[in-house]
Structure formats: C-alpha cells, structure tokens
Structure 1
Amino acid sequence: MKIGFKKLVVIGLLLTCNFVVAQETNTEVIGTLVDANSSQPIPYATVALYNNSTKDIITGATTDDKGQFYINTSASGFYIEISFMGFKTKTITDFTLRNSKIDLGVIKLSEDNEALEEVVVMAEVSKTVFKLDKRVFNIGKDISSTGASAIEVLNNVPSVNVNIEGEVSLRGSSGVQILINGKPSVLADESSNALGTITADMIESIEVITNPSAKYEASGTAGILNIILKKEEKKGWNGSVTLNTGIPDNHSIGLSLNRRTEKFNLFTQVGVGYRSLPRDSEAINTDLSNNEAVFSKGTSYRDETFYTITLGTDYHINDLNVLTLSGNFAYEVEDQPSETNFKTYDSNNTLLSSWLRKETTEATNPKYQYELNYKKQFKNNDDHSLLLSVLGRFFGKDQSSQFDNSVRIGTVADNNQQTETKFQQADYTFKVDYTSPLSETFTIETGAQYVINDVGNDYEVRDLIGGNYEVIDDLSNNFEYNQKVLGVYFTGSYELEKWGIKGGLRLENTDLNTLLTNTNSANSQNFTDYFPSLHTSYKVNDNVSFQAGYSRRIFRPRLWDLNPFFNIRNNFNIRRGNPNLQPEFTDSYELTSIYKIGKASFSSSLYHKYTTEVVERVSTSVDNVTTTTPENIGTNASIGFETNGKYSLSKWLTFTGDFNFNYFDRVGSFQSQSFDFSGRQWSSRLGSKIGLPADIDIELTGNYQSGFNTVQGDVTGYAFLDLGVRKKIFKGKAIVNLGVRDVFESRISERFVSQPTFETYSFDQRGRFITLGLSYGFGKGEAMTYSGGRRR
C-alpha cells in the first residue's frame, strides 16, 4: 500500500512538471575496447552498468569508431558488462574509483567461436533520451539481436505505432515523414516493403521529432522519424522472398536482394501483385425549404494490378565520403467499377423516382522516383558534415470513365456521361545541409532547400445529348499548378550533460501559380515567411527527463484543395477545390516528460496550437445538390494532453497505450454566418503483445476515436479492433503472418451537416480485411515481418 501510494505521488509530480533536483555526485566510466587477436578497436559494442543487488540495468553506452566509450552515472554499487556479436561477453566487477572516475584502460574481447543455436535476449538496454528538439531511441541488444526488420523496430519506439500491415503512425496520426540518416530515401517509402531490407542490427538509433526545429521544412506533418544506420553494416548477401494473399483480393509476390562489401552497398526489389479496395457509401440530402430528399447508396471498388522495381547503391569513396544513387519505378493498372442506387422523395415521403448509376473506370498510373546524395564528413569530428541531395519524383494518370443510368421508377435526374483525365505531376527537391560542432558543447547548422511542384490536370466531361456525347465546357478544363518553395535556415545549440538549448530561424519563400487554361483564369501567390523554433531539455536522472519546444508551421493548400473540378460519380454530392485558398499558419508549443517507473515507461505532453486562416470544408446546397469546397475560416486555438506508455508484465506479455485529448475554440465567419464554437476530441489506443511457445506472437490493438463538432455539423465516433498473429519458423528465417484489420467491421465514418436551409448525412465504410503472408530470408538477412505491405 505504501509503495503504491509513493508511485502515485511520483506520477502526479511528473505530470504537473514540478520536480526537485537533488545534489548528485557523478562517476565517469571510460575505456577502450579491442579485439584480443588483432588488437583492432571494436566499434558499436554495448557497455552496460548493472546493479549489484537487483541485477537490473542502470545505464549503458556503445563504443565509437575507435572502440572508446564514456558513461556518466550517479549510481553506485554496480558491475560492468561488455558484449558484442561474435565475441564472448566480459563482466568486470573489480575496478578502482579515483577522483570520481573509473578508467578501465584497454579491454580485450575474445572471439566466440561456438555457433549459437538460439538467440539469448539479454537485459534491455534500449532506451529513450532527449536531445533538445527530438527524442532519440537508442537500439540495444534486446532488439538488435532479434533479426527484426526496421518496421518492427519502429513498433518498439514510444509514441510510434505500426499496425499489422506495416503502416506507421505518430501520436495516432499517419502521414509521418520517414528519413534515412536525415534525408529522404526510397528505402523509406511506406508504399513498398523497402524498409524490410533494413534489419535491426544495422540500426543505431531512431529519432522521434514531434515539433520539428527550423532545420526541417516548415510544411505541417504529423512528425518526423529519422532512422540512423550504423556505419558497420552487415556484409555479404541479404535477401528475402515474400508471398501474400488476402480477402478482399490482396495477392503479391516480392523479391528483395542486398549485397554489401567494403566499398559498395547494392540493393534491389522487384514486386508484382493485384489488390482490391471496396468501399460502401450512403448519403441523404434534404432540402428544408420543401422537405424533398435525395437518397444514394452504393459500393465502389479500386482494383489494381501493380509492378514495381527498386535499384540503388551506396558507394563509400573513402571513410569520409559516401555517394548514394537509387531509383524506383512502378506501373499500375486500375479498374474502378461502382454502382450507386438513387431515390428521390417528396415532402410526404412519397417515392418520386429511382435509378441505378453504374460507373466503369479504367486508368494507368506510371510513377518513378530517383535520388542522388553525397555526404562528406570531416576528420576533426564525425558530426562535422556536409550533405548534398537531389530528389526527383513523377506520377501520371491516364483515366477514362463511363457513367450509365438505368431508370426503375419515374424519371432519371442524371445524364449518361463520360469523363477523361490526363494528370501529370513532377516534383524536384534540391538540398544542402552543413553541420559544424564548434566545440564539445556548441554546434551550428545551416542549409537550404529548393522544392518545385509542377502539375497539370486536363479534365473533360461529356454528356449524352441526342445520341451523341458532347463536351460540357462548364465542367471541363485544364488546370495547371506550379509551386516553388525556397527555404534557408540556421540553428545554434548549446548542450551540456544534463541541460541544453537550441534556437533557429527558417526563411521560406513560396511562389504559387494556378491557371485554368480554357477560361484563362489565373491565380498567383508569392509570399515570404519566417519560421522560428526554440527547444530546451533537462535530464533529472537516468529515468526522468523533460523537454520544451516551440515552432511555427505552415499548411500550404495542395493541388486537390485548389483544383475547382470534381468527380461526377455522385452529381448530388460534389467536392471541388478553391483556387483562392490561402495557406494556414500554426504556432505550436509543447512540454514533454519521459520517465520510467519499475517495468513501466511513460511519455506525457502538454501542447497548445494556435492556427490562423484555418482551412475548413464548407457545404452549400442548391436544388438538393450539395457542393463542398475548402474555405479559410477564422482561427482555431487548441490545448491538449497526450500520454503513452509501455508496461512489460513479463517476458511474454507487454501492454502499450496511447491517450490524446484535445479541446479547441473556433472563431470565424463565412458569408455572414458565424462559426464561433468550442468542442473537444479524444482518441485512445490499447495494445497487447502476447508471446506464446513455439515462436508465436499475438497482437491485439483496440482503437477509439471520439466524435467532434465541425463548423456546420458533427462527426460521430467509432471503435475498432485489429488482430495479428505471427509465427517464426526455421530459426527466424521464415515468418508466417496473419492479420485481421477491423475485426468487427466497426470502423465507419459518419458526418452530419445541419444548416437553416438544408441537411446532409454521409456514411462510409471500408470493412474487414484479412491478410496472410509468408516471408523467407536468405543469406545473412532475416525474413521481413510485415510482408503484406500497406494498403493505399
């Protein structure tokens, strides 16, 4: 009872960020690790301190390129354990403390020539620490020895969740930007299995950035995950073959190969498959002036055959210079059939008409990506570096659709129609980053980035008139979108052992031009904005740390937010863009704590965001035709609390949880209508991982998303459950993976719009998805745990 009360008191203190710092006497532990046979230094070995009484780990570190290590601790009564793959573990209990320093000198490790038949999981050394503007999850032997893929490693990182299909989310939000060694990479493309070619023992750490500093582009995202790879990557051949099937149709086969030598790292992936994505939809439009209503209900599919290939190489010119060249090409063939039933009713609820609208859509989508990176490190310091990168992407769509109506009762309010779309998007990114540690405590960063987005969307609608299809000029046009963003930044950081501060400023110029060529209607925006950032962190002890941060962000309207044309699948519920839409700006403040109590670890954050020129979707209705467009409406002030934790009840049972609560206050008006209101929204996730005998893992993840108010109505909440079962065979070389997403088919979207003159209701549901995958790893690689890929 007393112990439980003390824990509650500690948790309360942490959440309110009130703490008392006791005077501590720190001990430095230093030494150099070498091979007993060759006397060569051993980099990236694990050095850990353990409590003499409880045998629990206190803290740890890894050796650098020269085999040297440094540990600073306030603990006493410990022993030292040193381990590295292929060498015998060394335990040191006899050492001398002089002037608060333990100098172990040169330590020799002997090779372990015995072949291990199974992996022995040592005490956990993976841990999260604060580094000013980010949290760094250092990969310890508990994870790196398991042979897991990078996707599975991400699922161990606090605040990060990876579902059974391999989709990554941060604080419950998808759309996370994933970097490899601080830069974009085709290996970080979630739409493929590329991350599966990176195994856990190649990863040194993962950086979690929820409130990016001025170093990163100011466009608002859910956050950034940066995977830092070890310099000493596994040499030889790595590879895997994957086979997948699923209901609804989700069938594919893939091959991954990787070859590493002293100078080169060559990798390739080839895949082919077929998948289907059904969607059930309903809508009700009611005209309150005459109480007439239009009902629609139907099912649409996106059936896709895809082919993809990835090629790339890292060329290590020497120890200080690395050149990377990679590319990816994919080709998709789409078929999008749909059937929608329409009914109209009068004010007495009498059926006036009924008809079936059938769509046949075919499309081909070529897309490719290439990147060239050059990284130079300087001899005086590994962190002193220059990075140059060029990234190019292209996506095209050639699509044609046929819409046919079949009358059942009364008359049809729709025409038979055809549409044709030719879409092309090219993106180019040029980037330079320079980092210079001026001293052991002070570091500066500077750089520039230039991004070009060039898009063309030629859209034509034809109606059946007098037996012939004629072009409808009012609905057809060629929309051109060109955006250029130039950004430059500078940051400076001062970091001590326990405390640090980092400030920066980013300057971005946006040049945006849109043109409707048929009507010669042009819109241009050119603006320059400043994006400051400030971050600080304080480490109380090895179990408790705090971090505070501020940054200014921008949301630039995307192509589909600006394009005024639309899909005519349902002519009574139209969505179109707004060429006059302005960007929204957000000031973001955050206070975060991370702490460990016994077997449980927690991270909690208080955050506040103030957004101007908020982009909201506004609906209008004329003759029961509802048109929804994005508009800039006022401001939004929100304050929230987010916490997540992990509790390992035993070696075979682990619980994880996330909770996010947000209160918001909206102020704004549109067309003389006030949109002032307040609301709240919250979400939660509770997951469990159960380890069974025979290398079987079961994952259960329950999610809940509350309902919330919108500017014109509300959105209902929903709960859903995901299930995953994995079985390792052939000593981990092969993995069988069964996944069930939305077990009870309860993940739905319901939206209501209630206005003085009209009401609308919409419903969407994806349904249950079942996937079964088999992956086999060969050479020095391991099987890819997430073999199903991510549905898009």
Structure 2
Amino acid sequence: MPLFSKYTFTFLLFSIACNFSFSQNTIEVSGTLIEAETKQAVPYATVVFFDKTSKAIIKGITSDDDGSFSTTINNPNFYIEISFMGFATKSITTYSVTNNKVTLGTITLAPDNQALDEVTVRAEVSKTVFKLDKRVFNVGKDISSTGVSALEVLNNVPSVNVNIEGEISLRGSSGVQILINGKPSVLADASSNALGTITADMIESIEVITNPSAKYEASGTAGILNIILKKEDKKGWNGSISANTGIPDNHSIGLSLNRRTEKFNLFAQLGAGYRSLPRDSESMNTDLTNNEVIYSKGKDYRDETFFNLTLGADYHINELNVLTLSGNFAYEIEDQPSATTFSHFDASDNLISKWIRDEVTDATNPKWQYELNYKKQFENNEDHTLLFSALGSFFGKDQSSQFNSTTLSGTEVNDDQQTETNFQQADYTFKLDYTNPITEEYSIEAGAQYLINDVGNDYEVRDKDDNSNVYTVNEALTNNFEYDQKVLGVYFTGAFERDKWGLKAGLRVENTNLVTLLTNTNENNTQDYTNFFPSVHSSYKVGENFSLQAGYSKRIFRPRLWDLNPFFNVRNNFNVRVGNPNLQPEFTDSYELTSIYKIGKAALSSSVYYKYTTEVIERVSTSLDNVTTTTPENIGTNGTVGFETNGKYNPTKWLTLTGDFNFNYFNRVGTFETKSFDFSGSQWSSKLGSKIGLPADIDLELTGSYQSGYETVQGDVTGFAFLDLGIRKKIIKGKVMVNLGVRDLFESRIQESYVYQDTFEAYNYGKRGRFFTLGVSYGFGKGEAMTYSGGRRR
C-alpha cells in the first residue's frame, strides 16, 4: 500500500484537526421560512440582523433551499427583518434566548398583494444565485425541460453548451468535470451516456464552478458542473406521478414518493419507458493525391427500453448526526438499427461503386450505484461539520453488432463484419470533509479523497471471408483494454469573510497512478505523478447593487477512458475514431474577475477571464486509402482570454427575459510530427430565453441559442442556432400540469466540421431533428406535480 503510506502523516494531522472546535459566548439563531398560503419553503430570502439601539446592520444571510437559516451572532441586542421579492417584509423584535439559542421555528411570509402575480410567474423560472466561488443555477419547472434529461437541462444553464453528440463544454471549452451531489458518479460518466438516466424533475440545482477552490477535485480544466439532486423533506407522504409521450417515440411513466418523519426520510423514484433517437449523418473523404472521393449518407437510431429505480433513506440519529444510505439501479435494452449508403467516385467524378451498409446492434446496459454518507454537526455551530461518504458504482455493456453490405452498382463490395463488446466499469470514491467556522469571520476546510477507476473493454471484430462465408477474427482490430486509475487527494482551505469583503485560499495535493494494458498484445503504459493545485478567491461588495469577485485556480484534465482506448466501433469504416494510450494530462492556470450588479429590474453578471493550458489535447485526423482516422494528441499550449455576461430582466409582471453571452479569443502554439499548428481564432455563444404568462393559467416559453463556428487545428466547425418552445397549462391550483414541448423547432441544430490538409479533406455532418413531447403530471399528498422522463438524451 505505498500510495496510502505516502500520505499517512497527512491523515493523522487531518484526524487531529477534525477533533478541534472553537466555541465562544455567541447566540445561535435559527428558523424556517414558508409561504403563508402554500406552506412551501421560501429559499434565498434575505435575513438581516440590526442593532436595536443604533439601527446599524450587524449581519445579513440568506435562507437555504429548504427555507431554513441559521447563524451565530455576538450582539444580544438585535432585531430581524426578513424580505423576499413578492412578500411583505417581516420584522421580528421579540424572542427568547435559551442556552445561548434563539429558535424562531416556522416563520410565515405573507404575499405582497401588489407583487403577488409577478412572483407567481417568477417562481417557475430557473434562476441563478451567486456565491463566493460558484454560481448556483436553481432548476425551475421550465416548460422546455419537460420530459428531457440532464443533458438538455444543462444546455439551458448559463455558460454551458451541449452539442448534438452530447459533449459538454463550459465557456466554449471541453474538459468539464461532472459531479453528482458533489461527488464523482457513474451517472455523470459522459463516455457511458449515463447522464440520460437523470431527468429534469430529479434535479434541484446545478452549480457552475468556473474557477474551483482547492476543496474540489482538481480534474476538469474548463471547470466543474455539480448536479444537485432533489430529496423531498416535507413531513408526511407526498409524491408525484407523470406520463409522457412524444414524436419521435418518447414514452415514459414515472413515480416519485417521499415519507418524512422526525427520525427518517424515505425517498423513492421509479420510472420506465421507451424512446427512439434518430440521427442523420453525412460524410465525405477526398484523397487529394488521386482525387478519389468516398461519400456516405445515412440514418441511425438508438431505440431504448429503460427502467430506473432509486431508493434511499436518511436516518437522523439525533439532532447532530445523520446517516444516509441510497442506491440507484437502471437497466437499458438497446436496439440500434442503421443504414448508410456509400458512393465511391474516381478523379473524373465517375461512380466506381455504390453500396449500402446495414447495422443491427443489440445491447443491454445494467448500471447501479450505492452510497453511504455520515454527517456530524457540532454543537457550537451547525456549519461546523464532519462528513464521510463512500460511493460505489458499476456500468456494464454487453453489445453485439452485425454489419452487412449490399452492392447497388459498380464494383462489388464485400465488407460484412461482426463485433462483440463486453464493457465493465467499476468506480469507488471515499471522501472525508471537515468544515469549521471558527468565528463569524474565519473558517477552515480540510479533507481527503481516494478515487479508484477499474475498467475493462473486451472488443472483438470478425470479418467475413468471401469464399467460405465464415467469419474470422480481425486481430488488428481486436483486443482487451484494461484501465486502472487511482487518485489520492488532500486539501486545506482557509477563509475570511466580512459583510463587505471576503478572501478564501487553499491548496490541494493529488497523486495519480494510472496503468493501461492491451492484454492481447501486452502493450502497457504506466503514469505516476504528484501535483499541487493552489486556489485563491476574493469578493468585495461595493454597494447594495454591485459586487466584485476574483479568483485563481490550477486544474488538471486527465485523459478519459475513451481518449485512451485505441479501439472503437466500426459503424462507418471510412471514418474511424481511436484513442491514444500514451496521452498525457492537460494542466490549466485559470484567472477570473466577475462583477454582479442590479440595474432597475435587471440582475446581471459579467466576467473577464484568462486561461493558459499546457499539453493541450486536440483531435488530429490522418488519411490512408480514403479512410480518415481521428486520434487525440497532445499538441502545445493554448491561451484564452474571454468575456461573459448573463442576466435576467423582468420588464412586467407577466414577462421574464434571460440571456447569456460568451466570447473568447484563443492563441494556439504547437507542433505535431514536424507540422506547425500555430494559429489564433475566436468563438462565441449566446442564449436568450423568455417566459410569458398568458390568461387562464397558461405559460409560454421560448429559448433560442446560437453557437458560433470556430477554427480547429486542422480545419473548422460551423456554427448553428436553434429554438425550443414550451406551453404549459396548470389545473387544480397546480396539482395537475399539462406540458407541450418542442425541441429544435426549425430543425436547425446541425453540426458540420471540416478538415483541410495537404493530402486529404474530410467533411462530417450530423443532425438530430425536431422532437415533440407531451406530458401530464399529478402531485399528491403534500407534493406538487412534477415531470419524469427516464433514459438518455443524446
């Protein structure tokens, strides 16, 4: 166990720190805010403490997602004012102090009659809340999110883009780390498409962390997206049942249940359905040496039957200790029929051969995860906590494919093939986090994480012999790839925060041990390295409506399994993507300055940022015999300077506008195989959303997005724009909701890429098309109507 022993002293020091606590003669004040009419929680309300004598502000905080708030205060002579847009301001001047505690219990906020209608509209809209080192995008019941997966929800988050293939980028950069409830998860593994099993109704909020502190795992050069899942906390029984249908086929049913008592919180979600995801594709490979062209055009489907079950329980041992055990199981049955027509032309544009390549693919994908959490709160402050978590997850794929070719004209083509894939991925994460707010101004955080990734991909390709009609193994394309990665990290941060300004600094140390092995050919690659990742964040409140944030962090992007795995599907054997087992990690230094301000009815945020990345991973294409092979390679450095602004504007009580704009200029310097890849360019993206409140409790929502084209190391990618539309009707005071959504209304979400080289050119085109969804949901008990859609969205 050399990896553990290397950090034994760190764990000992950390254990000592966990037993340290600081107490002083302070008063702890707590309460929970709810709406007077609906009894629902009021999150992010402003709670301000004033000195009774001087009327000066002592302290200000905001309520949490569940409406609760808690803080400590040194001045016993205070009164409280609670305010939130759409509600009358509430003053609390009388209270009792018992054992240095003021327990206010449940506090009801009455609606402000002049603003009630406006609040009703706004409460449904997703909104962003700013914190010291992150932005929290609280997912509302946006109509366009009805019946869709986490990938589509992410595409509505400011700064985030999801392309037609499901690749996630943050401010135009890939290398984003996806977390679930602050931890790595098989559900966040983009390579397995598992994000599709998380649906819009399951998501509470998404934290956008463009410049993470040392507390977070250093992986992900572009930043971190942390998906926070809902966990109902209303006492008694509550839940929701929903049904969805759509064109193309998108049918599902879902059930959410929650039972809350003083000691236990039991939660469950069950879903099942069927969907078909068509995709149109085209490609053209041009050999500039002999001027021959291979053109292909086809359509493929991903037909899925899926089942999803989540069970969990919180056990409140006492007021200070909570134990949570949860598990998720999902099972998918895939059928992927496709048909692609190929045409081969000579230099004079004469047809040499034309044929159809059909694919029949069947796969089963079991996946599960289980998680144990223990949280201890200390008596002096509820934010003084010790949290231990252990997570295990598994994803498997048992897939077989049959490829048959039928010649339509010209030279006979016989390239029938069979493939078999047996993929298994097991991940284990162990975390220990300690937080101690030593005083109202000073706090520390310390922790450790150990991550294990164990993957095996057994892939076999068989070619059909033209004479004997017997399939034989193609040894050149067959192998078993094993991937074993272990990452141990420890961190410490310290923070100082006052009403006007705050400072947070930290250091994270990570050791990475990676071993890859091609068992059939005995090719192995071992990497072992230790890195330091400092971070600094600061904020300053200039005035009531204007604040500044600044930050620096160092990040790493470790090549993913599919970046390293040298064997890929042969669906189109003229356009092949393969991994590179010798790929090295990227390192990025990230600097950022952000302003947050309000102008009238508009709330805006703007950022200027700079990122410098070494060992940049780029996809490089080569061509031989009209076959284009694309492989990731480490190519030089990249410096990016950018500007981003986003905000929300409410010109009237029935209209809400949201917008996001991001522009960046980059400078690439690099060489690969004696060829220079030095160039510079720019790219930008924008989103504009509107929500319109119509009579009869009907809402209309429109969301438009644009992603500009940009230059790559060998060519360019074109831009595209698309529009989503949603209409919702509420019935029985919101207990029943009917939703109609249209994704990509004009079928304009098209991605095209070009490669221009001295000896060849390549063109690729992809389009998903228009999707219609119709959903009906009913909330019972103390729950509200929610929507459910299982499966994945790619």
Q: TM-score, normalised by structure 2?
A: 0.82
Q: Does 1:417 align with 2:422?
A: no
Cα distance, 1:247 vs. partner?
0.8
User: CA 1:321 to 1:198, structure 2 compared with 1: closer, same or farther past 3 Å?
Assistant: farther
Whole-Å separation in 2 of the counterparts to 1:634 and 1:112: 57
Whole-Å separation in 2 of the counterparts to 1:565 and 1:410: 31
CA contact (8 A) 1:721 1:742 kept: yes
State the AA in 1 paired with 2:751.
S
User: CA 1:226 to 1:751, structure 2 compared with 1: closer, same or farther past 3 Å?
Assistant: closer
CA contact (8 A) 2:507 2:534 kept: yes
SS in 2 for 1:743: coil
- Deviation track 1:545-602 (CA, whole Å, cap 9, x = no partner) reads 0000011111111111111112111111111111111111111110000000100110
Whole-Å separation in 1 of the counterparts to 2:156 and 2:763: 40
- Deviation track 1:251-306 (CA, whole Å, cap 9, x = no partner) reads 11111111011111101111111111111111111111111111111111111111
- Deviation track 1:742-780 (CA, whole Å, cap 9, x = no partner) reads 111111111111111111111111111111111111100
Cα distance, 1:737 vs. partner?
1.2
Cα distance, 1:132 vs. partner?
3.1
State the AA in 1 paired with 2:438.
L
- 1:149-228 alignment runs, 5 A limit: 177=178, 179-180=180-181, 182=182, 191-192=196-197, 196=201, 208-220=208-220, 222-225=223-226, 227=228
Give the corresponding residue for 2:726: 724
Give the corresponding residue for 2:290: 290
Give the corresponding residue for 1:654: 656
Give the corresponding residue for 1:638: 640
Give the corresponding residue for 2:590: 588
State the AA in 2 paired with 1:612.
T
Whole-Å separation in 1 of the counterparts to 2:61 and 2:162: 27
| Equivalent of residue 526 in structure 2, options 516, 524, 528 | 524
Unaligned runs of 5+ in 1: 1-29, 36-41, 51-57, 73-77, 96-104, 144-148, 200-204
Cα distance, 1:195 vs. partner?
6.4
Give the corresponding residue for 1:494: 496
Give the corresponding residue for 1:547: 549
Give the corresponding residue for 1:435: 435
Whole-Å separation in 1 of the counterparts to 2:431 and 2:227: 17
- Deviation track 1:183-230 (CA, whole Å, cap 9, x = no partner) reads 56899995346663678xxxxx98543211000001115433475999
SS in 2 for 1:702: strand
Give the corresponding residue for 1:602: 604
User: CA 1:429 to 1:764, structure 2 compared with 1: closer, same or farther past 3 Å?
Assistant: same
Whole-Å separation in 1 of the counterparts to 2:637 and 2:591: 16
CA contact (8 A) 2:338 2:359 kept: yes
Q: TM-score, normalised by structure 1?
A: 0.82
CA contact (8 A) 1:575 1:629 kept: yes
User: CA 1:136 to 1:494, structure 2 compared with 1: closer, same or farther past 3 Å?
Assistant: farther
Give the corresponding residue for 1:562: 564
Give the corresponding residue for 1:665: 667
User: CA 1:193 to 1:273, structure 2 compared with 1: closer, same or farther past 3 Å?
Assistant: same
| Equivalent of residue 786 in structure 2, options 761, 784, 787 | 784
User: CA 1:111 to 1:287, structure 2 compared with 1: closer, same or farther past 3 Å?
Assistant: closer
State the AA in 1 paired with 2:613.
T
Cα distance, 1:92 vs. partner?
5.5
Q: Does 1:481 align with 2:486?
A: no
Give the corresponding residue for 2:622: 620
Whole-Å separation in 2 of the counterparts to 1:619 and 1:139: 39
CA contact (8 A) 1:33 1:68 kept: no
| Equivalent of residue 468 in structure 1, options 459, 467, 470 | 470
User: CA 1:138 to 1:544, structure 2 compared with 1: closer, same or farther past 3 Å?
Assistant: farther
Cα distance, 1:383 vs. partner?
1.2
CA contact (8 A) 1:405 1:412 kept: no
Whole-Å separation in 2 of the counterparts to 1:34 and 1:532: 37
| Equivalent of residue 689 in structure 2, options 683, 687, 690 | 687
- 1:370-381 alignment runs, 5 A limit: 370-381=370-381
SS in 2 for 1:570: coil
CA contact (8 A) 1:400 1:420 kept: yes
Cα distance, 1:522 vs. partner?
0.8
- Deviation track 1:647-698 (CA, whole Å, cap 9, x = no partner) reads 1011111111111001000000111111100101011111111111122111
CA contact (8 A) 2:117 2:653 kept: no
Whole-Å separation in 2 of the counterparts to 1:34 and 1:573: 58
Give the corresponding residue for 1:99: none
User: CA 1:667 to 1:337, structure 2 compared with 1: closer, same or farther past 3 Å?
Assistant: same
Give the corresponding residue for 1:316: 316
- Deviation track 1:348-401 (CA, whole Å, cap 9, x = no partner) reads 101111111111111111110110000001001111110000011101111111
Give the corresponding residue for 1:38: none
Give the corresponding residue for 2:577: 575
Give the corresponding residue for 2:17: none
State the AA in 2 paired with 1:722.
D
Whole-Å separation in 2 of the counterparts to 1:559 and 1:66: 42
Cα distance, 1:475 vs. partner?
1.0
User: CA 1:632 to 1:703, structure 2 compared with 1: closer, same or farther past 3 Å?
Assistant: same
Cα distance, 1:337 vs. partner?
0.7
CA contact (8 A) 1:335 1:363 kept: yes
Whole-Å separation in 1 of the counterparts to 2:490 and 2:352: 62
Give the corresponding residue for 1:697: 699
Give the corresponding residue for 1:364: 364
Whole-Å separation in 2 of the counterparts to 1:282 and 1:128: 39
User: CA 1:557 to 1:66, structure 2 compared with 1: closer, same or farther past 3 Å?
Assistant: closer
- Deviation track 1:584-636 (CA, whole Å, cap 9, x = no partner) reads 11111100000001001100000001111111111111111111111000011
- Deviation track 1:125-166 (CA, whole Å, cap 9, x = no partner) reads 9997754323468999x99xxxxx999999998768999xx9
CA contact (8 A) 1:259 1:267 kept: yes
User: CA 1:789 to 1:721, structure 2 compared with 1: closer, same or farther past 3 Å?
Assistant: farther
Give the corresponding residue for 1:675: 677
Give the corresponding residue for 1:742: 744
CA contact (8 A) 1:213 1:534 kept: yes
Give the corresponding residue for 1:24: none
CA RMSD in angstroms, aligned pairs only: 4.1
CA contact (8 A) 2:149 2:792 kept: no
Whole-Å separation in 2 of the counterparts to 1:791 and 1:406: 32
Whole-Å separation in 2 of the counterparts to 1:185 and 1:234: 27
User: CA 1:269 to 1:185, structure 2 compared with 1: closer, same or farther past 3 Å?
Assistant: farther
Give the corresponding residue for 1:10: none
Give the corresponding residue for 2:712: 710
**More displaced stretch, 186-195 vs 219-228:** 186-195
**Structure ranking higher on relative contact order (CA contacts 8 Å, 6+ apart):** 2
Whole-Å separation in 2 of the counterparts to 1:555 and 1:651: 44
**More displaced stretch, 644-653 vs 408-417:** 408-417
CA contact (8 A) 2:329 2:367 kept: yes
SS in 2 for 1:282: strand
- Deviation track 1:505-549 (CA, whole Å, cap 9, x = no partner) reads 111111111111111111111111111111111011221100000
Give the corresponding residue for 1:276: 276
Whole-Å separation in 2 of the counterparts to 1:617 and 1:401: 26
User: CA 1:109 to 1:730, structure 2 compared with 1: closer, same or farther past 3 Å?
Assistant: closer
User: CA 1:228 to 1:336, structure 2 compared with 1: closer, same or farther past 3 Å?
Assistant: closer
State the AA in 2 paired with 1:330.
A
User: CA 1:173 to 1:255, structure 2 compared with 1: closer, same or farther past 3 Å?
Assistant: farther
Whole-Å separation in 2 of the counterparts to 1:281 and 1:429: 38
Whole-Å separation in 1 of the counterparts to 2:747 and 2:310: 35
CA contact (8 A) 2:32 2:68 kept: no
